[in-house]
Structure 1
Amino acid sequence: MVETRTDMLKVLDSFCVSPPPGSVPTISLPLTYFDFSWLACVPVQRLFFYEFPHPTLHFVETTLPLLKRSLSLTLQHFFPYAANVMCPQSPGKPYIHYTEGGGSVTFTVAESTADFDHVVADYPRDVKCLHPFVPQLPPAHVTEDGVRVLPTLAFQVTVFPNSGICIGSIYCHAVGDGKSFMHFMRSWTSVFRSGGDLACLENSLPLFNRDVIKDPFGLESVQLKNYWRWVSSCGENSAPTAGKVRATFVLSRAHAERLKHLVTAVDTEQLHISTFVVTCAFIWVCLIKSKESVTDDDDDKFYYFLFAFDGRNRLEFPVPATYFGNCLQPCVTDVKKSELTGEDGIVLAAKAFGKTIKEMGSRGLRWGEHWASTIIERAKTGRLTPLAGSPKLRVYDTDFGWGRPCKVELTHIDHDGAISMTESRDGQGGTEVGLALNKNQMDEFVTVFEQNLKQLRV
């Protein structure tokens, strides 16, 4: 092993993991109009933390070999993650390309001397606390004929001796949405737990058939134009993280039920009022109220909340649950600041979310040509809050045999200003929300959050 060191991290080894030789032929897979827009977004960074009370040598000798082998075996069924996204010059369409014997996933092994309990804590910590455990994707490059080549996935496994393990991942969202990625992760854990027996995957293989994605409204040409407009106008940008802290906030199932009761008591429209809806409403109101002391916005200005929901079996055409790719529809909810910060802010926000979801259910893809312009227009105001993740992804079911994760984090929210959401790690129906804010606003948010929680009288 070749070792390199940073402050609290020692890189023990780095190598590439490929599907078994001969298991995947050279193959290309087209992207769909659901995939194109994600090429403009930062890669997804998700960290899975596990308790692992063993020394590093024990991990290297007993766990690492099967971790590598099971990943290799799983990749033969999820080959896009060992492939590259090929982006030809205009008017070419981006596509996924796997080369037999050439596709692989970068896999780094490291050791950290950081305090594991502090790293996985819910209380505010410097955002940089988690950055050492995020792997780096190999750099993009351009071929002689002008095709930009984007690697799709990388892993870093960091051992905290006698305390824990972090499985850090970074992947290109254009290859697949969160449901596709978590399908891959749970498949990997199943193969690992089985000792490498692929029979465990027989009933849950991914579907790559792009023919299931229909285009009744001509969205491919619209999204391609949006993609080329982005390519010609900007590069990769991310917000600075200096001075930011991140924390996790938990709303229990009892809190969600109380919120739903409050909303449905005054809901005369029979809207979609779910745990997801009331959790978004609660957190959004706390976030906007915590900004009041640092902004002078007019109360009549609208604030915007961007979220996505899985379009599988919610569209004008059926899409199987095992479809591999992106099948997300963006939703934007607009509410005036005066309503969000008023006495009934949470109720009004929840009703607004419910109305948005109900409208999306009836419109389907009909407003698809306006997705990009609507989001860009809202983002330019500086009053758009994006949501990353979903409680439906079941990230805490990612069990390699060491038990369920003790914490799962989405670290790219440190850069793009989003909030993250997962199901609660205790499996009792609650929700976890991650935030990355500057320290002053985080202090304000904690105060507002705790006050609003007390008012629920749960």
Structure 2
Amino acid sequence: MSSPRLRILSLTHVLPDRDRAAAYSPPPSLPDDGLVELSFMEVLFVNRVMPMRRLFFYEGPGVPAFPCLVRSLRSSLAVALALFPPLSGKLAHRPSAAAGDVVVDCSPAAVSSGVKFVEAEYGGGIEDMRRVAGGGSDEGDREALAELGPELDATRLPAPVLAVQVTRPAVGRAAVVAVALHHAVADGHSAWQFMRAWAALSRMEVSPSRAGADLAPPAFDRTPLRYPEADELARKILRTVAPALPVISSSSSCLPPDCLRRTFLIHAGEIQLVKQHIRAQSQTTGEQADKPPSTYLAVSSLVWTSVARAKFRDLAGGDANFLVPVDFRRRLGSPIDERYFGDCVVPCVARAAVRDLLDGGGAGLARAAAAIRDAIRVQPECPVRAMEAWLESLRTVPRVRERFTFTGSSNRFMAYETDFGWGAPSRVELLSLFAMELVLLLGAQDGGVQVTATLRPEHMEAFASNLGRFSGRGDGRRLRIGRP
């Protein structure tokens, strides 16, 4: 819907182009009826009506005129949809489905409406659009930022799983490419797999000589996930998260009005300092690991202790909990590999005493790292057992917002490499704001990590200050924002 700031120029739908896709990959193997059953990992997200939304800001002399840019994006998207058929389908209610009551309907009838593709214009220039996104010392305009992303209504089935919006500024040559994707059909790894393929196809549209190295065909075979007890587990989860099918309700459909959202960049050198600090502290606490901390572990530990220092300065008793998504692709091994498309993650909870995270002696980072490392390490190798352990943790771990921090995405996802043919994005923003206290990670240029946090206002400034204490400047608001 248009607003005083946003004007809709065109609303069309893109259909998969199977003929052109055949030049890159054989047709994906799907069930004869076109109904793709959700796995026990995917039904957990059926009620996540707030989609995963990603905004890519492009500016500079390499950005083509808007009609040419849109034409390339539409054409390449049509091929990408044929390579990733679930994305042009519908999330549908099917009571007879073996793994529950929800499937991805990829039948010709479901796909015939296509994927919504919105062209829009935002009042002002690219500077105004960047200002909307905010930064480490500026929250930006949350309502206006949301307008730069497409709507994806999944409150009643059947529902689309993908929508695209491309927005130009009223002044200057630039564009924001935004994608909304339902979490029930793809996790973060799969979402970025699709983005890499679409960007590669678009680059070839712009310059046919550019190679399609990112066009490794996705894999849809779910046989390795068909455990004897998986179907019953899926039905159990679905009855819990979506008891009123085909109506979907969710208490986490939008960011609460009493929360702030800000984005920070932690540079590679700062991350190295965090790693060194964890290793040094681990020798003191006796929790030294077999190998140095990864970037993910170091940044997650810094984020968790920064949240704890911001919230619990006057309350050092009890435990704090930190949600960690565990990707099972690497745990299951062949034939599940990096090409597998769908959801293949199971959440788990790291727990630590608040007093340990606040340790005035400086051991908080090491203890946070040990708790996160142990939570991941003790996950059962069988994903069914791991999911059952997660469901059990929901009954035993207090999920009040004062004691629970959600995390999502990963620094492994190199968002700033998303080049559609006119260069790298100047800025990438995540709008998957499904929880009151949430931290999202993205890989940035030169080994940095982008951190997007949503917290209560009284905690945000202290969080920013604690996050920046390894920057050499001691002020989280002075971390470089927006152009890693």
Q: Return the TM-score normalized by structure 2.
A: 0.82
Q: Of 433, 441, 451, which residue of structure 1 is paired with 2:451?
A: 433
Tell me if structure 1 keeps the 8 A contact 2:322–2:351: yes
| Residue number in structure 2 paired with 1:150 | 159
C-alpha distance in 2, partners of 1:211/1:55? 43
C-alpha distance in 2, partners of 1:363/1:269? 24
Question: Is residue 99 of structure 1 aligned with residue 78 of structure 2?
Answer: no
Residues 177, 452 of structure 1: alpha-carbon distance in 2 compared, 3 angstrom cutoff: same
Q: For residue 166 of structure 1, report the CA deviation from its aligned partner.
A: 1.1
Q: Of 224, 230, 238, which residue of structure 1 is paired with 2:241?
A: 230
| Residue number in structure 1 paired with 2:482 | none
Structure 1 segment 77-116 matched on structure 2, within 5 A: 77-89=83-95, 92-100=100-108, 102-114=112-124, 115-116=128-129
Instruction: After superposition, give the CA deviation of every residue in 1:284-305 in whole Å (9 maximum; x if it has no partner).
Output: 1111211236xx64x3311111
Instruction: After superposition, give the CA deviation of every residue in 1:125-146 in whole Å (9 maximum; x if it has no partner).
Output: 24334111121114554xxxxx
Q: For residue 376 of structure 1, report the CA deviation from its aligned partner.
A: 5.8
C-alpha distance in 2, partners of 1:76/1:86? 19
Structure 1, unpaired ranges of 5+: 142-147
Residues 379, 7 of structure 1: alpha-carbon distance in 2 compared, 3 angstrom cutoff: farther
**Aligned residue-pair number:** 440
2:369 alignment partner, SS class: helix
Q: Of 314, 339, 355, which residue of structure 2 is paired with 1:338?
A: 355
Structure 1 segment 128-277 matched on structure 2, within 5 A: 128-138=143-153, 140-141=155-156, 148-160=157-169, 161-195=171-205, 200=212, 204-215=216-227, 218-232=229-243, 235-238=249-252, 240-265=255-280, 266=283, 267-270=287-290, 273-277=293-297
Residues 45, 415 of structure 1: alpha-carbon distance in 2 compared, 3 angstrom cutoff: farther
Instruction: After superposition, give the CA deviation of every residue in 1:12-59 in whole Å (9 maximum; x if it has no partner).
Output: 111111113778896221211121111132321211111155999x30
Q: Which amino acid aligns with 1:118?
A: R
C-alpha distance in 2, partners of 1:214/1:55? 46
Q: Which amino acid aligns with 2:14?
A: V
Moved more, 19-28 or 338-347: 19-28
C-alpha distance in 2, partners of 1:43/1:263? 35
Residues 406, 129 of structure 1: alpha-carbon distance in 2 compared, 3 angstrom cutoff: same
Instruction: After superposition, give the CA deviation of every residue in 1:262-284 in whole Å (9 maximum; x if it has no partner).
Output: 22231434267211111111111
Q: Return the TM-score normalized by structure 1.
A: 0.87
Instruction: After superposition, give the CA deviation of every residue in 1:218-270 in whole Å (9 maximum; x if it has no partner).
Output: 23312320211222288221355325432222222222222222222314342
C-alpha distance in 1, partners of 2:295/2:318? 27
C-alpha distance in 2, partners of 1:415/1:432? 18
Tell me if structure 2 keeps the 8 A contact 1:52–1:165: no
Percent identical among aligned pairs is 25
| Residue number in structure 1 paired with 2:54 | 46
Tell me if structure 1 keeps the 8 A contact 2:92–2:158: yes
Tell me if structure 1 keeps the 8 A contact 2:133–2:139: no
Moved more, 448-457 or 344-353: 448-457
Structure 1 segment 398-437 matched on structure 2, within 5 A: 398-413=418-433, 416-424=436-444, 427-437=445-455
C-alpha distance in 1, partners of 2:255/2:446? 36
| Residue number in structure 2 paired with 1:145 | none
Instruction: After superposition, give the CA deviation of every residue in 1:165-222 in whole Å (9 maximum; x if it has no partner).
Output: 1111111111111111111111111111111879937950111112132426x23312
Residues 221, 317 of structure 1: alpha-carbon distance in 2 compared, 3 angstrom cutoff: farther
| Residue number in structure 2 paired with 1:370 | 389
C-alpha distance in 1, partners of 2:379/2:352? 17
Instruction: After superposition, give the CA deviation of every residue in 1:334-378 in whole Å (9 maximum; x if it has no partner).
Output: 011111112221121012112222223767653331222314653
Q: Which amino acid aligns with 1:38?
A: F
2:83 alignment partner, SS class: coil
| Residue number in structure 2 paired with 1:315 | 332
Q: For residue 315 of structure 1, report the CA deviation from its aligned partner.
A: 2.4
Q: Which amino acid aligns with 1:268?
A: Q
| Residue number in structure 2 paired with 1:118 | 131
C-alpha distance in 2, partners of 1:195/1:54? 15
| Residue number in structure 2 paired with 1:144 | none
C-alpha distance in 2, partners of 1:455/1:405? 27
Q: Which amino acid aligns with 2:212?
A: C
C-alpha distance in 1, partners of 2:214/2:265? 36
1:367 alignment partner, SS class: helix
2:420 alignment partner, SS class: coil
Q: Which amino acid aligns with 2:135?
A: D
CA RMSD of aligned residues (A): 3.0
| Residue number in structure 1 paired with 2:480 | none
C-alpha distance in 2, partners of 1:381/1:134? 30
Tell me if structure 1 keeps the 8 A contact 2:332–2:381: no
Residues 320, 451 of structure 1: alpha-carbon distance in 2 compared, 3 angstrom cutoff: closer
Question: Is residue 7 of structure 1 aligned with residue 13 of structure 2?
Answer: no
Tell me if structure 2 keeps the 8 A contact 1:48–1:408: yes
Residues 456, 55 of structure 1: alpha-carbon distance in 2 compared, 3 angstrom cutoff: closer
Moved more, 316-325 or 12-21: 316-325
C-alpha distance in 2, partners of 1:188/1:354? 34
C-alpha distance in 2, partners of 1:355/1:139? 36
Q: Of 23, 26, 38, which residue of structure 2 is paired with 1:31?
A: 38
1:220 alignment partner, SS class: helix
Tell me if structure 1 keeps the 8 A contact 2:357–2:367: yes
